[in-house]
Amino acid sequence: MKVVCTLRVNGEPHEIAIPPHWTLLEALRYELGLTGSKQGCDKGDCGACTVIVDGRPELSCLTLALGAEGRDVRTVEGLATPQGLHPLQDCFDLNGAAQCGFCTPGILMSAAALLEHNPSPTREEIKQALAGNLCRCTGYTKILDAVEQAAARLREARP
Amino acid sequence: MLRLPRFQYHAPRSLTGALELASRHANEFMYIAGGTDLLPNMKHLLFEPPHLISLRGLRELDFIEVQGGGGIRIGALTTLTRIAESDLARRELPSLAQAAGLVAGPQIRNMGTLGGNVCLDTRCVYYNQTLFWRKALGYCLKKDGSQCHVVQSGKRCVAAHSADTVPALITLGAAVELQSPRGAREIRLEDFFSGDGVKNTVREADEIITAVRIPPQPRGRRANYTKVRIRNSIDFPILSIALAVDFREDGRTCDNVELVMTALGSKPRRIGNLHGVVEGRALTAEVIQAVAHQAHRQAHPLTNINVDPEWRREVAPVYVRRALERAVRAG
Amino acid sequence: MSKKLNEMPVSNPNKGRTFKVVGRQPRKPEGLKKVSGEALYTDDIVLPRMLHAKILRSIHAHARIRKIDASKALALPGVHAVVTGNDMPIAYGIIPWTQDEYPLCTDKTRFVGDGVAAVAAVDEDTANRALELIEVEYEVLPAVLSPEQAREHPEIKVNEKAKDGNLSKHVFLEFGDMEGGFARADVVDEDHFYFENTTHAPIEPHCAIGQYDRNGVLTVWSSTQVPHYLHRELARVLNLPQNRVRVIQPLVGGAFGGKSEPFDLEFCVAKLAMITGRPVKILYTREEVFYSHRGRHPMEMTYRTGATKDGKLTAIDAKITFDGGAYSSFGLVTAYYSGQLLTAPYQMPAYRFDSSRWFTNKPACGPKRGHGSVQPRFAFEVQLDKIAHRLNLDPIELRRRNFIGEYTETINGLRITSNGFLECLDAVEKASGWKERRGKLPFGKGLGVAGSMYISGTNYPIYPNEMPQSAVLVRLDRSGRAVIFCGASEIGQGVNAMLANILCEELGTALADVQVVSSDTDLTPIDLGAYSSRVTFMCGNACIDAARKLRKQILEACAEKLQTSPEDLDILPGEVVCLKDTAKRLSTPEAFQLAEAKSGSLAATGSFKTNPLGGDYRGGTIGASPAYSFTAHVAEVTVDPGAGFVTVDRIWIAHDCGKAINPILVEGQMEGSAYMGCAEAIMEAQTYNSKGMHIGPSLLDYRIPTSLDTPEMQSLIIESIDPEGPYGAKEAGEGPLHPSIPAVANAIFDAVGVRLTRLPFTPAVVLKALREKEERERRAAPAAAGGQ
Ligand SMILES: Cc1cc2nc3c(=O)[nH]c(=O)nc-3n(C[C@H](O)[C@H](O)[C@H](O)COP(=O)(O)OP(=O)(O)OC[C@H]3O[C@@H](n4cnc5c(N)ncnc54)[C@H](O)[C@@H]3O)c2cc1C
Ligand code: SF4
Ligand code: FES
Ligand code: FES
C-alpha cells in the first residue's frame, strides 16, 4: 500500500506516493528521477548513495524515504547552481578524479559537507571525511588532489 | 537491489507517543533509530516486523549533559558523530569519544545513534547474510535453523558482540535508562547483556533506551579505546579493547585497571583478576605484562568473525600492552 | 620463426613530433556529466512499461536439476513470465572453442549462485516473491572445491566440456636449452608461491535492459565492456539473425575485466522481453556480482630460476596450477598468458612453463586487470629479489643487467618494439631515494622494487576474421562541431577523452565541440571491446586514420582559398594558419565549410587492423601484441612487528605508456592499478567455505581499501614513443598493476627480513612468518654469531 511522502530535496518540496518500505535512494532514483545518487552495495557498505541530510552526509540506501520527511536533503543534482558548477565539480573534472564516475556523486557530497564544516582541511582530514566512500578506479589520489584544489578555490572566493 | 520487506511506518514525536504505539502494536513492531543496523538486517530478511516505530522524532532524547553530581548523561538518540566531536565527551570521556569516532565510516556515524549502538544485534559470518545465502548454508540456531556453525555442538548462539561504544562505556561504569509502557528502570550496562547471541540484551521488546548515564569518573583516571580491524574504515571491530586506569595522586601508582574486550563471544568480556596484579603498583613492564597475560588467558576469539581467531588471540595481549603504555604516557 | 611474422618497424614516424593538444588537455568529453550526476548508467534508464526480473540461483555447489515447477510463481499476480534453462538451450562463452555456459542451467548447477530460472514481474518485490514460489527438485552431487580434488576425482565431472577429467586447459611450452641453462647457473632458486582468488568489485553492479520491438529488433542495454561480443552471442543463443540485434552500452561504473563477457542477466532480459513484449530490466544485487565473478585465478606456482654469479638469468622453469571455477570463461587464454607474458623485460635464455587450469564447483575465474600475468609476475619478481639478495646485488641493478632491450624478440617469439623499462627503473630509483635509503631504514620499514611488462592489445581478435579490430567514424558539422562514433567501451579508463584529444589535435576543434558517441552497435563502427588494454592502441590509430582523411580535405580546401599549398598550412586549436604568412588564417568553422563546399558533406571512417605477429608454434600468437608497456615500482612499507599489520606508505610508479595522450588520465590508470595491486597484496581474498559458498559476498566482508588504507602514490610517466602506437602511445590500464604486489613483498623483506610467498599478506600471515623467523634465529643463534 502506498503512502504519501513529503520530501524536501535540493530546496524543492516534493510529494510522492510510495510504499513505506522504500528507501530514500529508491525514492530519489525511481520516483523523483534524481538518478545522480548511485546504488553500489545494497546496504551501507560503499557510500555511492551518499546525500547530505540536514548538513551532514548520510547514506540514502539506509534511510527510509519516510524517515527523510521534514529533513533537508541535498543530492549531487543540487550541487551546481544556475551560475555554474560547484568548485568541487570543476576540480574533479580537471584532476581526473572521476574515472568511471560511479562513486563520484557520493564522494562529491561527502566532500561538499566537509568543506562546509571545514574550509581548510588537511589531506589527512580529507581522507577521514571520504573514508566512507569506496572508489575502485582512482586509488583516491586524484580525488584528494581535487578536494584540496577546490578547498583552495573556495577560500579564495570568500576570504 | 536488495529490498526491504514490507512494514508500516510510524513516526511519533514524543516518548509518550512512541510508547503508546508500542502498546498498540505489541509484539508486532521494532523500534528504529538511525537504522544503520536494523535496515541491513531487514534487507537480509533477518527481521520482518509488521510495524516500525521510528525514534528519530524524539528530539528530547538527543543531548549530552552534565549532571548535578558531575556525571554525564547522553540521550539515546545522540548520534555517534556528535559524541565523537563533543568537547565535553573528548575531555571527560575520551575512550567513549574515541570509540564513537571509530564506528563504521563518517556517514554511518552521522546516522547511527548511541542507543542503536548499545542495542546492536550480535554478528556472525553465518548470520549477516542474505536469505539466499543462509538457505544455501542450511540456516543456523540464531535464525531459522537448529545448528551453530561456529561451535558445532553448541546449544547457544555465540555470535559476536560488536558494538564499539559498549566496552568503553562499561569500563566507565555506565548504566542504561529504559522506559516502557510499564514504567522506567535503570540497569548497569554490564548487566544489560545476557550472553545469548540470539537475544543478547535483557531489554524487553517495548522498552526504549532513553539515555546512557555515566557516573562521575575518579580523579586520576586515564581511559582509552583500541579498535583492531583489517580496514581502517567501514569495518566492525575484530577485537576491541577498552581500558580505564586509575592512578593515585602521584600519577604513577596504580589503584585499579578496568579492562573490557569485545568482538569475542556474545557479550563484552571484562578481564578479571586484575586488581591483585595492579593495585598499589606502578605500571612497570612486568605489571603490564601480567595484565596482558590475563587478557590472553581470558579472551577467546571465535570463528564467528572471519579473521583468524588464533591470530586475534595472539595479538590481544600486544594491544592490551600498548593500551596500558599509552595510559602511562598520557600522564 | 616464419618470415611474415614479427617484422620490425623500419622507422619511427612518431619520434620528435610536437603537439598542440595531445598531452595538454586534462578534461574529458563526458567529464562534466559525471561530476554533475547527469551521466547515465544502465540502471538510470527507465523505459515505459518496463518490467523487473530476478534470477533464481542454485543453493547447491553441484546438483542435477530434476524438475522445475514454476506454476505457482506464474500464478502470482504481477508476474509476467518465467524462463528456465530449457528456454535457451544453446551454450555460449567468450572463447568460441570453449563455449560451456547456458543463460540458465539446463541440466546441472555448477556452483552456489548458478542461475536456474528467471522471473519478470511488475516490480522487484513481486519478482522476488515469485522466486520463492518456484519449486526446483535437485539431486545433489558431490562437489569439487579445489584443483587437487579436481585432479583426484575425475569421476566427479564438474564441466562436461572438459575432455580429460576436470582439466580445463593444459599448456606446456619450452624455449631454449633448459638443461644447459641450469647447468651453467651459479645459483638456482626454487620457491613455491600462492596467489589468492580476488575479484574486480566495480562499484556499479551489473545491469541490463532488454527490449523487443515490433520490427523484430532486440535491443539490449548493458553495463558490458564487450558490446560486440555480446551482440554476437545474443544473436546466436536467442536464435536471432545478427542484424536483428542491437547492443547499447551506456556509461559503465567500473569493470576491470569483470564485465568482459556475456552474463546470464543479458540473455534473461532479452528472452523475457521477447516473451512479454515489454522492456525488462535486471540489476544484480552486490551478492550476485560476487557470483558472476570472473576474477583473478588462484594459482599455486613453483618457480625454479638459475642465474650466474653476476646476476644474469640462465633458465626459468615454472609449474602453475590454477583453480578455474565452474566454467571456461577466458581460461584458455589465461592458461597461455600465465606463461607467455613473463618473457620481458628480462632476457631469458631458456624458459619453460607448464600451466594447468582445473574446473571446480565455484564461480568462474577469468580476466581481472592484468589477465593471467599478475600472479606469475608476483612469483617471479619475488624470486628475482631473492636471487639479488643471495648474490649481494642491488635488486635494481640485477634487473638492469637482465634488460632485454628494445626492438628485439623474446625467447617465445614476442616482438618487442619501444621499451622504456630502464628509464622506469631509473625514475623509481631516483624518486624513492633508493640508493640512500634501501637497507638503511629502521627495522619495520622497508623499500622494495619490481618490474613488469604487459600487452597493448591482443594481436588477434577472439574469433578469427579478416575485418578491422577497431574503427571510427568522424562526422564534421559546418558549425565547427564534430562527432566521433566509435564502438569502444568507456568504462572509466578514458577512451572518449583519448579519441577526442586525437580529433582536437588533428582538426583544431575545441573539446567542448566534440561529442563522442560510443558503443552502440547500430550507431558506431566496430570495436572489439575494452579488454587486453587494446583500446588506445587500436581505436587511437583508427581515429587518427579517420581524422587525417578529413584533415587532408580541410587543408586542400583552405589552401585553395588562401592561395597556398596544403603543406604550408597547419591546424591549430580553433584555426587553420598559413605558416609562411601567419596573417592568413581561417577559423575552424570556416575551414570546415570550405571543405564541405569542395568535397561534399564531411565524414570519414578510419580503421585499424594488426599485422601478423607472434611465435611460429601452436599458441605462439597468444600473447602477441603490437606493442608492450613496461613498468617499475618501488614500494615503501611499514610493518608492525607486534601485530603483523603491513601498511603500504607509498608507491612510486614509473610506467612506459609510449606517449601520454592525456597525462592526467594516464596517471589515473597508473594510480588505480597500483591501488588495486596493493589491495591484493595486503587485504583482498575471495574465499569459499566447505560447501563451496562464497564466505562473504558483500563489500563489507570482501574488503577493498578505503581512502585510509591506500598509499600515497607518485606517478612517473615514461614516454618511449612507440613507432606504431597512436602518436607513440601504448597502454596504461593494466601494466602498472603488476609490480605493486611483488614490490610490496620485497619491501616487507627489506623491512623485517621475512619472505612472504603466499597472498594476501594479512597480519596473521605476517606475524606467523615473523615468529618463525625469530624461532629460526634463536636456533641458529649460537652458530651464526656475528652473522646477519
Ligand atoms: C557498513 C556498516 C559498518 C558498521 N560498522 C560498525 C562498527 O564498526 N562498529 C559498530 O559498533 N557498529 C557498526 N555498524 C552498526 C551500526 O551502524 C551502529 O552500531 C549504530 O550505532 C547503530 O545505531 P542506529 O541508531 O543506526 O541503530 P538502529 O539500526 O536504528 O537500531 C539497532 C537496534 O537497536 C534498537 N534500538 C535503537 N535505538 C533504540 C532505543 N533507543 N531503544 C531501544 N531500542 C533501540 C533497534 O530496534 C534495533 O534493533 C555498522 C553498520 C554498517 C552498515
Ligand atoms: S554463532 Fe552459531 S548460532 Fe550464532 S549466528 Fe553464528 S552460526 Fe548462528
Ligand atoms: S548503496 Fe552502498 S552505501 Fe548505500
Ligand atoms: S571513479 Fe570509478 S569507482 Fe570511483
Cα B37 to ligand 1 centre (Å) = 4
Is the confidence at residue C446, as pLDDT, over 70? yes
Over range B63-87, report the average pLDDT: 97
Q: Is the CB of C203 under 6 A from ligand 4?
A: yes
> B233 CB contacts (<8 Å, ≥6 apart)?
A131, A132, B104, B105, C706, C707, C708, C709
Is the confidence at residue C785, as pLDDT, over 70? no
Q: What integer pLDDT is reported at residue C784 of this predicted model?
A: 52
What is the average pLDDT score of chain C? Answer: 97
Q: Is the CB of A141 under 6 A from ligand 4?
A: no
Question: CA C567 to CA C559: how far, in whole Å?
Answer: 9
Q: Which atom of ligand 1 is nearest to the CA of A43?
A: 53
Is the confidence at residue C654, as pLDDT, over 90? yes
Cα B81 to ligand 4 centre (Å) = 26
> Grid coordinates representing A135?
572508489
Is the confidence at residue B163, as pLDDT, over 80? yes
- Residues of B within 8 A of C287 (CB-CB) are 2, 130, 132-133
Q: How far is B115 from chain A (nearest CA, A)?
A: 17
| Geometric angle at alpha carbon B33, from B31 and B39, rounded to 5° | 80
Q: What integer pLDDT is reported at residue A159 of this predicted model?
A: 66
CB contact under 8 A, B104 and A134: no
Question: Among residues 73-112 of chain A, which lie with CB inside 8 Å of chain B?
Answer: 110
Q: Which of A52, A58, A109, A118 to mutate to test the interface with B (most CBs of B within 10 A)?
A: A58
Question: Among residues 700-719 of chain C, which lie with CB inside 8 Å of chain A?
Answer: 700, 704, 706-708, 710, 712-713
Q: Is the CB of A99 under 6 A from ligand 4?
A: yes
Q: Is B330 on the interface with C (CB under 8 A)?
A: no
Q: How far is B236 from chain A (nearest CA, A)?
A: 11
pLDDT tens digit sequence for C197-225: 999 999 999 999 999 999 999 999 999 99
pLDDT tens digit sequence for C547-570: 999 999 999 999 999 999 999 999
Q: Which ligand is nearest to the CA of A57?
A: 3
Share of chain C above pLDDT 90, in %: 98
Q: What integer pLDDT is reported at residue B107 of this predicted model?
A: 98
Cα-Cα-Cα-Cα torsion C667, C259, C195, C391, nearest 10 degrees, comes to -30
Beta bridge partners of A80: none
Cα B3 to ligand 1 centre (Å) = 19
| Geometric angle at alpha carbon C474, from C471 and C476, rounded to 5° | 175
Q: How far is B301 from chain C (nearest CA, A)?
A: 14
Over range C308-335, report the average pLDDT: 98
Boundaries of every domain in chain A: 3-78, 87-157
pLDDT tens digit sequence for C219-229: 999 999 999 99
Size of interface A-C (CB pairs under 8 A): 176
- Residues of B within 8 A of A59 (CB-CB) are 36, 107-108, 111
CB contact under 8 A, A110 and B106: yes
- Residues of B within 8 A of C112 (CB-CB) are 136
- Residues of B within 8 A of A128 (CB-CB) are 106
**Selection from B298, B224, B211, B286 nearest residue B258 by Cα:** B224
pLDDT tens digit sequence for C727-758: 999 999 999 999 999 999 999 999 999 999 99
| Radius of gyration of chain A measured on its C-alpha atoms | 16
Which residue is associated with the grid cell 536467442?
A: C238
Instruction: Spell out which residues line ligand 1, taking CB within 6 angstroms.
Output: A 44-45; B 30-38, 40, 55, 76, 80, 103-104, 108, 111-113, 115-117, 119-120, 162-164, 208-209, 234, 236; C 700
Question: CA B139 to CA B130: how far, in whole Å?
Answer: 11
- How long, in residues, is chain A? 159
Is the confidence at residue C1, as pLDDT, over 80? no
Beta bridge partners of B65: B73
Q: Which atom of ligand 3 is nearest to the CA of A59?
A: 4
**Selection from C326, C322, C297, C286 nearest residue C102 by Cα:** C326
Residue C4's pLDDT band (boundaries 50, 70, 90)?
Answer: low
3-state secondary structure of C83: strand
pLDDT tens digit sequence for C584-635: 999 999 999 999 999 999 999 999 999 999 999 999 999 999 999 999 999 9
Strands C575-578 and C415-416, sheet pairing: unpaired
Over range C43-62, report the average pLDDT: 98
**Selection from C737, C733, C679 nearest residue C708 by Cα:** C679
Question: CA C150 to CA C134: how far, in whole Å?
Answer: 32
**Selection from C288, C111, C198, C295 nearest residue C703 by Cα:** C198
Q: Which ligand is nearest to the CA of B43?
A: 1
- Residues of B within 8 A of A117 (CB-CB) are none
Q: How far is C285 from chain B (nearest CA, A)?
A: 5
Cα A96 to ligand 4 centre (Å) = 10
> Grid coordinates representing B14?
514524543
Question: CA C397 to CA C438: how far, in whole Å?
Answer: 13
Q: What integer pLDDT is reported at residue C787 of this predicted model?
A: 43
Question: CA C362 to CA C149: how far, in whole Å?
Answer: 13
Q: Distance between alpha carbon B18 and the CA centroid of its chain, in Å? A: 24
CB contact under 8 A, C26 and A94: yes
For ligand 4, mutation pick of C33, C200, C203 (most atoms within 8 Å of CB):
C203
Phi, psi of C212 (to 5 degrees): -125, 115
CB contact under 8 A, A101 and C708: no
Cα-Cα-Cα-Cα torsion C424, C427, C431, C434, nearest 10 degrees, comes to 80
Over range C397-401, report the average pLDDT: 98
Is the confidence at residue C684, as pLDDT, over 70? yes
Q: Which residue of C has its CA nearest to A85?
A: C36
User: Cβ(C723)–Cβ(C418) under 8 Å?
Assistant: yes
CB contact under 8 A, C253 and A100: yes
CB contact under 8 A, A21 and B1: no
Q: Is the CB of B142 under 6 A from ligand 2?
A: yes
- Residues of C within 8 A of A88 (CB-CB) are 35
Q: Which ligand is nearest to the CA of B179?
A: 1
User: Cβ(C159)–Cβ(C116) under 8 Å?
Assistant: no
Say which CATH topology domain A87-157 has.
DNA polymerase; domain 1 (1.10.150)
Q: What integer pLDDT is reported at residue C781 of this predicted model?
A: 79
Q: Is the CB of C699 under 6 A from ligand 4?
A: no
Q: Is the CB of A134 under 6 A from ligand 3?
A: no
What is the average pLDDT score of chain B? Answer: 97
Q: Is A114 on the interface with C (CB under 8 A)?
A: no
3-state secondary structure of C576: strand
Q: What integer pLDDT is reported at residue B293 of this predicted model?
A: 97
User: Cβ(C755)–Cβ(C386) under 8 Å?
Assistant: yes
Is the confidence at residue C36, as pLDDT, over 90? yes
> Grid coordinates representing C583?
596573417
Q: CB-CB: which of A42, A45, A59 is closest to B1?
A: A42
| Geometric angle at alpha carbon C46, from C85 and A44, rounded to 5° | 85
Judge residue C579's burial from the number of C-beta atoms within 10 Å of its C-beta, 0-12 exposed, 13-18 middle, 19 or more buried.
exposed
- Select the CATH number that applies to the domain covering A3-78 from these four: 3.20.20.70, 3.10.20.30, 2.60.40.10, 3.40.50.720: 3.10.20.30
Judge residue C485's burial from the number of C-beta atoms within 10 Å of its C-beta, 0-12 exposed, 13-18 middle, 19 or more buried.
buried
Question: Which residue's CA lies nearest to atom 45 of ligand 1?
Answer: B116
**Selection from A133, A125, A139 nearest residue A96 by Cα:** A139
Question: CA C399 to CA C455: how far, in whole Å?
Answer: 20
Q: Which residue of C has its CA nearest to A19?
A: C125
Q: Which of C114, C693, C758 to mutate to test the interface with B (most CBs of B within 10 A)?
A: C693
Over range A133-159, report the average pLDDT: 95
Over range A123-133, report the average pLDDT: 98
Residue C2's pLDDT band (boundaries 50, 70, 90)?
Answer: very low
Question: Which residue's CA lies nearest to atom 4 of ligand 2?
Answer: B157
Over range C521-544, report the average pLDDT: 96
- Residues of C within 8 A of A134 (CB-CB) are 203, 699, 704, 706
Q: Which atom of ligand 2 is nearest to the CA of B266?
A: 1
**Selection from C599, C595, C555 nearest residue C577 by Cα:** C555
Q: What integer pLDDT is reported at residue C3 of this predicted model?
A: 47
Q: Is B3 on the interface with A (CB under 8 A)?
A: yes
Question: CA B245 to CA B277: how far, in whole Å?
Answer: 13
